[in-house]
Amino acid sequence: KNEVEQSPQNLTAQEGEFITINCSYSVGISALHWLQQHPGGGIVSLFMLSSGKKKHGRLIATINIQEKHSSLHITASHPRDSAVYICAVRFLLSGSARQLTFGSGTQLTVLP
C-alpha cells in the first residue's frame, strides 16, 4: 500500500530553535512536496523535490531517495512559523491520475 508517514504529529518549540519535521514513504516516488497550512486554513506549497536539497529563506528541505525519507528544517524558528506542515508524494505507480498522496501533517507551535 502506498503510504506517507510524518513525524512528529505535534511539535512545540521555543523561538530561535532549529526544527526538523520528517516524512517517510513506502515505495518509489517521482516527486515530494512540502506544504504549509496556516492557522486560518489556507494551504501553500513550500517546496517540490525529486532529489537533493532546496533552500528558501530559513526553510530547508532534503530528500534521500534510497532511504525513502525527506526532512523539512526550519532555522531560527519564529512564532509566525506556527502552522501545520504537510508532506505529499507522487508515487511512481500512481497511474494516469498522477495524484498526490498526503501525510496527515505536523502541527508546529513556536512559543515566543
Partner 1 sequence: NAGVTQTPKFRVLKTGQSMTLLCAQDMNHEYMYWYRQDPGMGLRLIHYSVGEGTTAKGEVPDGYNVSRLKKQNFLLGLESAAPSQTSVYFCASSLRTSGPQETQYFGPGTRLLVL
List residues binding partner 1 (CB under 8 A): 4, 30-31, 33, 41-45, 48, 86, 88, 90, 97-105
**Residue with smaller CB distance to partner 1, 77 or 87:** 87
We find the least distance from the C-beta atom of residue 74 to partner 1, in angstroms, to be: 20
- Smallest distance from partner 1 to CB 86, Å: 7
- Which phi and psi angles does 81 have, rounded to 5°? -80, -10
CB of 27 to partner 1, least distance (A): 16
Cβ(60)–Cβ(73) below 8 Å: yes
| Minimum CB distance to partner 1 smaller for 10 or for 75 | 10
Q: How far apart are CA 110 and CA 73, in angstroms?
A: 14
Return the number of the residue (77 or 106) whose C-beta is nearest partner 1: 106
Q: How far apart are the first and last CA of the chain?
A: 41
Who's near 16: CB < 8 A, 6+ residues apart? 76, 77
